[in-house]
Chains A and B, each alone.
Chain A
Amino acid sequence: MTELAVELKGVTKRFGDLNAVSELDLDLPLGGIVGFLGPNGAGKTTTLRILLGLYLPDSGTARIFGRQARDVRARVGYVPEERGLYRRMRADESIAYIAALKGVPSSRALQRARVLLADFGLGAFARERIEGLSKGMAQKVQLLAAIAHDPDFVILDEPFSGLDPVSQKELEDFIRGIARGGKTILFSTHTMEHAQRLCDRLVVLVRGRKRFDGTLGQARNLLPRRALIGAEGDLHFLTALEEVANVAPPAEGREFWLVDLKEGADGRSLLAECFRHGIAPFHFDLAPPSLHDVFMALVEKANAA
């Protein structure tokens, strides 16, 4: 049987009257990048803390590599949302300190830190104090601190928070590089673009409950497709088609009609129907729904329930 990196079964965590996490089941195999999505207060951080062994669930079981989280600290790396580093410590010492705490012999930890910094293009900043680094660079140091002890499972809590687009791109490449080493990466975010670009799998948590668990393609299939048609003339005739749910004319100042398809419809008949009515669209876009749309729909559904 394949070893699971994470195995949560019916995990519930309460804080007073608040159910931070409810009946959460989650299996993560070894390898791959998993996006952990949810709005603020969805229970992402609480779940991550359960995975880190910082909280014990009130009910259910949480296993990391088949054991209690606190027993496998050395196999887990963690990057918190804020910069979890000592400001006055030097970059190489910061990495070495966390590595040593995770079990790397102190004599090797500093050497390992310097090799990592050099490998990831930060060799010149090894002796810089954290307070002297840019936010993006400090975040990379934080990531290196989380992987210096060569963990099999890395947890990243909002790693892109506060970074400029250039740093975000660099960090994305950085995370992909770590994942190529066969590590399981779970990162929480509420920025859909990162999840869309990085993740092999997505888990959506809303109000403490898991609302979705699957690939990006599966997530997009949760919502019917929508066609964006640019044309001169009235397209209301499209409502007669079986696969069309709704036709909305262009908003004021816009020139694109929005055509919502029914679930499972592929929209192939739309273009043919336009030509049949003598209208040649100058724009036709039948893109799948964005992750943002899926996410919003899931949140709205959960809130409505």
Chain B
Amino acid sequence: MIRRVLLIARQEFLKYVSRRGFIFSLLLMPAIFSLSIGVPILLGPHPKTNVVVVVDRTGLYAAAIETAVARENAQAELTALAAYATGHADMAALGRADPALAAMLREPDRLTEIKMFQAHGGSRHALEALSPFLRSHVPFIRPMSHIAVAPTPPDLTQANGAEVTALARTYLAGRREARLAGTPQIVSTIIVIPKGFAADGAIPAQYFSADTAAQGDADFVRRVLADALSLHELQQFLPPHSRTASLEADANLQVIDPTQAAGARLSAAERLGQFVPVGLAVLLFMVCFFNSALLLQSVLEEKTTRMIEVLASCASPTEIMTGKLLGVCATALLTVAVWIGALFVIGSFFSQSTVSFVIASLGQVATFETLPLILLYFLCGILIYSAIFLGIGAVTNSLPDAQALLGPASLIIVLPMLFLRVIIANPNGTFATVVSWIPIYTPFFMLVRLPFHPPATQLWLTALCVVATTLLLLRQIGQLFARNLLSTTSSAGFLTKWMSRRSPRQSP
């Protein structure tokens, strides 16, 4: 029996993978990955540093802008370093040896850590401290500074109101250049802060930009100036000796995962890593849908050519069905392997640190305890969806017949994708919990919820439930398949065929 099952499985696998449609789809997905990742990089704006010149007639705000720009660049650098460290360094050992650096890398968005990072020499110094803990020799690529403030050229400093506008036009057009670290640079933004610029807004600051559509940079400057104005206003009420004191405060908000060891706080990388299984769920959905459709097509083709009769004269319906399901599972695994492999290869080509980060995040999700569950979700998901499509193939005799059932079936099958956002928004909420108990959706929703540590009882009971449902469904579909294997008429409806699936006169 096993030999026949394996022969059928092998044949099914070879049949699927040699189809032009399969090969096309297998290659199409990596092509889509390449386009979606590569095209924005290749065709989008090339990373460049926006050189900003500040003409500050008040002498009060230029320093604030320079400080904010330096901090913005440091934060981007620290965030990149944190992703790099998560992917390539032994963070546990680093935490024990250098808690300050570990904290910095865990909370790259936190003001205190950014200041610490700046005060300790930025990424150069941090990398030196990190190097003993690196597991690979992949180099860290320092992100390019988004903004740099160049010293104000004398002609701009000396120009009066009308002259500034004319001069700004020549600078922004590239006909004149500012010098940054001794190198001539094309200016992209000129900020003019006139005398009398104050919180009352009577006299506006001017923002000249070569790209006025880049609203983000203008917003950044507006925010920095607003903060500086607030600080300036407040300092008027402070005693003279404390006027230089910073009023900046950092709200230390710990994000704590209660299921982790006491006091374990989630790093930014870990928080981002929680969403990696969403990608797995989408991948599972695509693989299920894609491969189940192949199975349906195959069954209908065999019924049309009466190949199914030849098979049935060689093997029992159970052997045929098992072989077919094994074949489709093998095809699905190949699809997953090729797509994930392609994603990493293409991702590495464009952004190695992102790929390292995803691998590290996957490593955190797929632990010794959760890996069997992830595999179970994939297996049960593929089997459930394949069984549904096999059942449709069994009770119909042609693609037009099957389409009448495929409509409602597809609607039911697509639902998890529609609910995914709601689940991500509140992974352990009532809605997520309830829908996770619907066995045909359990593989998708529990996969998404896995990093958010749903209750262990829920985790294992839903797993048990999905296994039981898969087995029950396979048994029922097996009866339906055996009963309708040789049916070449579609006079009876689906329900009639379903109700009569347990006829005692079918050959075992």
Pick from B4, B18, B305, B507: contact of A54, CB below 8 A. B507
CB distance from B446 to the nearest CB of A (A): 38
Whether A78 pairs with B7 at a CB distance below 8 angstroms is no
Are A70 and B316 neighbours in the complex by a CB distance under 8 Å? yes
Is A56 in contact with B506, judged by CB distance below 8 angstroms?
yes
Decide if B93 is an interface residue (CB 8 Å cutoff): no
Specify which chain B residues have a CB less than 8 angstroms from the CB of A58 in the assembled complex: 505
Q: Quick check: A85 and B307 within 8 Å, CB to CB?
A: yes
A88 touches B506 (CB 8 A): no
Measured between alpha carbons, how far is A54 from B506 in the docked complex, in Å?
7
A86 contacts partner chain B, Cβ-Cβ < 8 Å: yes
Nearest CB of chain A from residue B298's CB, rounded to whole Å: 9
**Inter-subunit contact B312/A54 (CB<8 Å):** yes
CB of B9, distance to nearest CB on chain A (Å): 12
Docked Cα-Cα span, A54 to B308, in Å, equals 11
The reply to whether B11 and A73 contact each other, CB–CB distance below 8 Å, is no
A106 CA to B7 CA in the complex, in Å? Answer: 9
Segment among A96-104, A198-206, A250-258 that sits at the interface with chain B: A96-104
Which of A54, A97, A101 is the one whose CB lies under 8 Å from B309?
A54
Q: Does A194 contact B (CB under 8 A)?
A: no
12 extra interface residue pairs, beta carbon distance < 8 Å, beyond A86-B15, A100-B7, A101-B4? A52-B312, A53-B507, A55-B505, A56-B506, A69-B507, A73-B315, A84-B305, A84-B307, A84-B309, A101-B7, A101-B311, A101-B315
Q: Is the CB of B15 within 8 A of A88?
A: yes
Please name all residues of chain B whose beta carbon is closer than 8 Å to the beta carbon of A13 when the two chains form the complex.
505
**CB-nearest residue of chain B relative to A50?**
B507
A76–B485 Cα distance when bound, in Å, is: 20
From A53, A54, A81, A97, contact of B11 by CB (8 A): A97
Which residues of A are found within 8 Å of B312, using beta-carbon distances?
Answer: 52, 54
Determine if B506 and A49 form an interchain contact, defined as CB atoms under 8 angstroms apart. no
Which of A53, A80, A89 has its CB near the most chain B CB atoms (within 10 A)? A80
Check if B505 sits within 8 Å of A56, measured CB to CB. yes
Are B507 and A70 in contact (CB-based, < 8 A)? Answer: yes
How far apart sit A55 and B309, CA to CA, in the bound complex (Å)?
A: 11
Cα distance, A120 to B103, chains bound together (Å): 79
Which residues of B come within 8 Å of A, CB atoms?
A: 4, 7-8, 11, 15, 18-19, 304-307, 309-316, 485-486, 505-508
Compute how far the CA of A69 lies from the CA of B508 in the bound complex, rounded to whole angstroms.
11
B314 x A73 contact (CB < 8 A): yes
Chain A nearest CB: distance from B501 CB in Å?
Answer: 15
Tell me the bound Cα distance from A81 to B305 in angstroms: 9
Q: Considering the chains assembled together, what is the distance between the CA atoms of A98 and B136 in angstroms?
A: 52
Q: Is the CB of A82 within 8 A of B505?
A: no
Query: Once bound together, how far apart are the Cα atoms of A237 and B384, in whole Å?
Result: 82
Contact B15 A49 (CB under 8 A): no
How many residues of chain A get a CB closer than 8 Å to chain B's CBs? 31
Residue A83 interfacial (CB < 8 Å): yes
Q: Which residue of B lies closest to A145 (CB)?
A: B310
Shortest beta-carbon contacts, A-B, top 5: A101-B314, A84-B310, A80-B306, A78-B313, A82-B306
A21 to chain B minimum Cβ distance, whole angstroms, is 12
In contact, B486 and A98 (Cβ under 8 angstroms): no
In the complex, per-residue mask of A51-71: 1 if CB is within 8 Å of any chain B CB, else 0? 011111110000000000110
Known contacts A53-B507, A56-B506, A101-B7; A85/B314 CB under 8 A: no
B505 touches A54 (CB 8 A): no
- Chain A residues, CB < 8 A from B306: 80-84
Cβ contact within 8 Å between B486 and A54: yes
B-side contacts of A54, CB under 8 Å: 309, 312-313, 485-486, 507
Is B313 a contact of A76 with CB atoms below 8 Å? Answer: yes
Q: How far is the CA of A145 from the CA of B506 in the complex (A)?
A: 26
Quick one: given A80-B310, A97-B7, A98-B310, are A88 and B18 in contact (CB under 8 Å)? Answer: yes
A-side contacts of B7, CB under 8 Å: 97, 100-101, 106
**Complex contacts, A76 vs chain B, CB 8 Å:** 313
Residues of B within 8 A of A236 (CB): none
From the candidates B305, B485, B486, name the one contacting A85 in the complex (CB within 8 A). Answer: B305
* Closest chain B residue, CB of each to CB of A74: B314
A292 within 8 A of B: no
List 5 A–B pairs whose Cβ atoms lie within 8 Å, in order of A's numbering: A54-B312, A54-B486, A81-B306, A97-B7, A97-B11
Is there an interface contact between A98 and B305, defined as CB atoms closer than 8 Å?
no
Cβ of A87 under 8 Å from chain B: yes
